[in-house]
Structure 1
Amino acid sequence: MASNASETRRPLIGLTTYLEPSRHGVWDVVSALLPAVYVDGVRAAGGRPVLLPPCEPGGTGWSDAELADLDGLVLTGGGDVDPARYGQVPLSTTGTPHPVRDDHEISLVRSALRLGLPVLGICRGAQVLNVALGGTLHQHLPDVLAGRRHQGEPAEFTTTRVRTEPGSRVRDLLGEETTVHCYHHQAVDRLADGLRVAARAGDGTVEAVEGVDPGAGFLLGVQWHPEEDTGDRRLFAAVVAAARDASAAVAR
C-alpha cells in the first residue's frame, strides 16, 4: 500500500528564497520572495513546491530532520555569492554579499547530500553548489572573456548555445546542443571535488556541472535559467522524477 501511495504522490520540492524589503499595501516589510516562474516550473513538472526562506542571523537553520520531509531541492537564482566563501577578496564588480542567504544555501546543499535528496541548482544555485563543495568562481566574466555575452542589458535575458559533454546526465536530458536563457556575470572557475563539467558555452564558459558519480543520486547545476523557458520543462521534470524515484525507494 505504501508503495502505491508513493507512486501517485506528487514529490515535495523545496525552493530557496530571498529575504528582501517589499511593500504590500500599507506594509513595508522584509519578505521571503521568489519569482513565481520557479514555482510554476516545479508544478508543471509534477512536483509540489514549498518555499525555504533563509533563517535570521543567529538562528539554528533548517535541521536535517525538518528537511527529511522533502523529496528534492532546487537552489534558485539570485545575487553573487560572497567571495570570502571561496577565499577571494571581492572585486568592485561583485555584488553586495548576503551572508544569511549564503549560510542558508550552503547548509542546505550539505544537508541535501547527507539525506540523499536530488538537487537542481539554477544560475546562482549552480555557483552555490560548486562553492559549498570547495570550488571557486570567476567573479566577473568580462575580466576573463571579451564582451558581456552572458549578461546583456539589466533585467534582460540573453540566449546562449551550449554544448553538453559526452556521457553526461545533461546530454541524456537535453541532447548534444541546446539554446538557453542566460543572465550571469560570474561562473565556475576551479571545479569542486565530486563535480564534473556537463556543458559549456562556445567561449568555454562552464554552463553546467553534475555529480561525478551518477549512482550517488541526482546532483546537477546549470548556469542558465530553465524557469524562463515555459516550453521546455525537461530539467524540472528530471529533478521531480528523481525525487519521485528516491521517495519510492524509501517507501519500499
Structure 2
Amino acid sequence: MNQTKILIVPEYETQSGGTVLVADRTVSHTLTELGALPIYALDIRTYQEYAELSDGLLLLDGTLFHPFRYGGIVESFQELAGYRRLRDDIEFALAEEFLKCKKPVFGIGRGALVLNTVLGGIPEKERSHVADPHFTCFTQNITLQANASLYEIRRLGDGLHPTSLSGERILSYTDDTGRLQGLLFRPDQAEAGGAEAYKSFLAELIKEAKDV
C-alpha cells in the first residue's frame, strides 16, 4: 500500500546529556488513523531529501522562533534561552523547500507562524487571549477555553487569506490552492469543537498531499 507520507519536525529540548528530540504521539496516531504515514525530520543536512521523499509537511506548535526571522529584536539575555535554533533552522528550510516543490505545508500554532513568515508575514512576539472565544473552523463551532493563550499574526503573508476570525484577529488561514493552511489554536485549547476541527485539518492535509 502506497501511503501518503507526512513530514513532521519534532521538538528539540536541551538537557544535561545533550539535545533530546520529543515527538508528539497524538499527531502521529491521528495521521496513522487517517491512513497516512508520519515521518520525523531529524537532520537539517538532508532537508531536500526529506522534501523529495514526503508528500506534505506539518509544522507543529511550540516556542516562537528567533525574531531575526522577521526583522525583530531580542530584548534580553533571558529571552534567548527560550529559542530552539535547531528546530528553527530545519523548519524554515523545509517550509521553503516544500514551497519550491509545490507540496502542501500546514501549520499549527507556532507552525502556522513559520509558514506565514516564510511567505513574508509578521507574527506578534507574545501569545495573548482571544476576546471572543466563539468562532467557526472547518464547519465546526469552536469554543476556546477561557485561559487559552494563542499566537497572533500581525501581518498575513503573501497569497494568504483568513478562514476564521475572532473580531479582526486571524485564527486560521489558507491560500487560493488550499495547499497552504494554518491554525492558530490547538485542540486542547478548545472546550468544544477543537478535536473535530483538528482532525478535519489533518485530513485536509492528507487530501492535498495525495493530489501532489
User: Which TM-score bucket, shorter chain as reference?
Assistant: 0.7 to 0.9
Give how far 1:132 is off.
Answer: 1.1
Match of 1:118 among 104, 107, 111: 104
Alignment of 1:1-252 (within 5 A): 8-21=1-14, 28-53=17-42, 55=44, 60-63=45-48, 65-90=49-74, 96-142=82-128, 148-149=129-130, 160-163=133-136, 174-175=138-139, 177-179=141-143, 183-201=148-166, 203-211=167-175, 213-214=176-177, 218-226=179-187, 230-231=195-196, 233-246=199-212
Given the superposition, is the C-alpha separation of residues 149 and 40 from structure 1 closer, same or farther in structure 2, using an over 3 Å criterion? same
Aligned partners of 2:162 and 2:172 also within 8 Å: yes
The count of corresponding residues between Structure 1 and Structure 2 is 204
Q: 2:64, 2:202 → 1: CA distance?
A: 23
Q: 1:227, 1:240 → 2: CA distance?
A: 21
Aligned partners of 2:7 and 2:38 also within 8 Å: yes
Q: SS of 2:73's equivalent?
A: coil
Encode CA deviations 1:42-68: one digit per residue, 9 max, x unaligned.
11221110111353xxxx3512x4421
Q: TM-score, normalised by structure 1?
A: 0.70
Q: Identity across aligned pairs (percent)? A: 23
Name the structure where strand makes up a greater proportion of residues.
2
Aligned partners of 1:12 and 1:70 also within 8 Å: yes
Q: 2:187, 2:53 → 1: CA distance?
A: 25
Deviating more after overlay: 232-241 vs 181-190: 181-190
When Rg is computed on C-alpha atoms for both structures, the one with the higher figure is 1
Give the CA RMSD over aligned residues: 2.9
Give how far 1:106 is off.
Answer: 1.1
Encode CA deviations 1:138-195: one digit per residue, 9 max, x unaligned.
11255xxxxx358xxxxxxxx932245xxxxxxxxx1274345795443111111121
Q: SS of 1:68's equivalent?
A: helix
Unaligned runs of 5+ in 1: 1-7, 143-147, 151-158, 165-173, 247-252
Q: SS of 2:8's equivalent?
A: strand
Unaligned runs of 5+ in 2: none
Aligned partners of 2:59 and 2:106 also within 8 Å: yes
Give how far 1:32 is off.
Answer: 1.7
Give how far 1:100 is off.
Answer: 2.2
Q: TM-score, normalised by structure 2?
A: 0.82
Q: 1:191, 1:230 → 2: CA distance?
A: 25
Deviating more after overlay: 231-240 vs 110-119: 231-240
Q: SS of 2:20's equivalent?
A: strand
Give how far 1:207 is off.
Answer: 0.7
Aligned partners of 1:16 and 1:51 also within 8 Å: yes
Given the superposition, is the C-alpha separation of residues 236 and 81 from structure 1 closer, same or farther in structure 2, using an over 3 Å criterion? same
Deviating more after overlay: 178-187 vs 109-118: 178-187
Q: 1:227, 1:41 → 2: CA distance?
A: 14
